[in-house]
Amino acid sequence: MQFSSAQVHRSPPTLATLILLSGLSALSMNIFLPSLPNMTEYFRTDYRVMQLSVALYLAVNALMQIVIGPLADKAGRRPVILWGLALFLLATLGCIFAPTAEIFLFFRMCQAVIAVGIVLSRAAVRDMYAQDKAASMLGYVTMGMAVVPMLGPAIGGFLDESFGWKANFWLLFGLGGMAIVLVFKDFGETALRSGKTLAQQFREYPELLTSPRFWGYSLASGFSSGAFFAYLGGAPFVGTEVYGMEPAEVGIYFGAPAVGYFFGNFISGRYSVRFGVNRMVFWGCWLNAIGVALSLAIVVAGWGSALSFFGLMTFVGLGNGMSIPNATAGSLSVRPHLAATASGLSGAIMLGGGAALSALAGALLTPETGALPLLWLMLVTSVLGIMAIQIVIWREKQLGL
């Protein structure tokens, strides 16, 4: 059932605004990754220290999502997004002018406040549509979002070679400024304020945490995306140290999963209403595992190359594009009156695991090991994603849903 604009003071946001908010959240995560080797040299530190800019960002992003959800259910989506974007702009300036690696990492963690974009764009979609339609709309939102991170590393690599690594963060600052203007003009409130205190909002977490279906959907999304987050932490090293690629070249190849993600989200947008969220998540998790298994088999056989490693990651993106929007819609629909809280909590579960996997991937890889530790890590998380959605399917059969 579509949301009625009579319930709020302004019209709800357009699809373009939701795509921009989600895209900016994704872009801030990966645009600078091809610059990590040059940033390591600039700050005169170790690569693994700079690689923490991914893991720490994801960890703080996860914690932010736990707070953002209840805060937005209490105060509304619009004011939380506007404040979040303003703080993101300040944090980005801090990254640009940081004199040391430690100060850079501090402001990099502060940049995680951009989580308001992805959390509340998803919540706004669930505010406006019922479960299967919400899954379809989330597919379209994240399909558009996929274009941004698909191009992001390539743009980041070009900016690094042409103007230095700081150019990536100036671009984020400019896009953040555009986003805050657009949100101010277009993002009308999509939910009535709960009227509860923040403490009361947090006390409703057990209602979600005691639901097996919420956990099943959240873990399916978390483990499926976990393969990508491990890739996020390890692929720049594999590209530069194992296959000897230049930053701009890594940036181009790095976007391979986003190509698959684009088409996976298109499939979600087109077919989620017809087939239902459970089957879409199930098929997506299997595609994720198949892509990683093929890449691992090629490396074990001694035929591994940059083309096979990055090329087969399109299956990971394709599977994620089918599983994440549908699992997200499922988790938000377990308790519809807690949509933003559920969005934040499921996102925190996904990103908290992603932070750990990203850091673990960076720690496991050396030039001697090649890509094998990363691929094994990705395969294990992919298989766990299949198991998680099976739990949801089994539980719904029990409940007769």
What does the pLDDT look like over 83-99, one tens digit per residue? 999 999 999 999 999 99
Query: What per-residue confidence (pLDDT) applies to 4?
Result: 40
Half-sphere exposure (CA, 13 Å, Cβ side) for 89?
13
Low-confidence ranges of the chain (pLDDT < 70): 1-10, 126, 128-136, 138-139, 142-150, 190-202, 204, 336-340, 400-401
Q: Give the Cβ contact number of residue 310 at 10 Å.
A: 23
28: left (phi over 0), alpha (psi -120 to 50) or beta: alpha
Query: pTM to 2 decimals?
Result: 0.69
345-401 pLDDT, tens digit each: 777 787 777 777 877 887 787 777 888 999 999 999 999 999 999 988 988 888 766
**Which domains, ranges and CATH numbers included, belong to the chain?**
10-187+197-399 (1.20.1250.20)
CB 318 within 8 A of CB 287: yes
**Sign of the dihedral defined by the CA atoms of residues 270, 276, 279, 281, in that order:** positive
Distance CA 136, CA 59 (A): 28
Q: How far apart are the first and last CA of the chain?
A: 19
Determine the Cα–Cα distance for residues 338 and 52; give it in Å rounded to an integer: 33
- What average pLDDT does the structure give for the chain? 82
Coil, strand, or helix at residue 12?
Answer: coil
Alpha-carbon span 80 to 75, nearest angstrom: 7
CA distance 215 to 357: 19
Contacts of 112 (CB under 8 A, 6+ apart): 57, 58, 60, 61, 63, 64
Q: What does the pLDDT read at residue 3? A: 38
